[in-house]
Amino acid sequence: MDELKASAKPFDISKQEVWDAWVKVRGNKGSSGVDGVSIEMFEKDLKNNLYKVWNRMSSGTYFPPDVKAVPIPKGGGGIRVLGVPTVLA
């Protein structure tokens, strides 16, 4: 597992942690966020896209993008706002 650890990066984030997070995101089967990138589109270049996310996170240059606000009607009246994050950071 040590070979998956970042070297000479300010944040110690393993590629395995990024992979595990991806598995959870994919498992949610959600819709695309404000960037319009679906899970299927992200998977077309999965290795490169996950590398980019890992590289940005471990180097400290990752900043989460805006979240898409989706109004969800509540059963008893009113609205709850659901935040849909982007897949491709």
pLDDT in tens, 10-61: 888 999 999 999 999 899 887 888 888 899 999 999 999 999 999 999 999 9
Confidence of residue 3 (pLDDT cuts 50, 70, 90): low
Amino acid present at 2? D
Query: Cβ(67)–Cβ(83) under 8 Å?
Result: yes
Question: To which residue do tokens 């395995």 refer?
Answer: 16
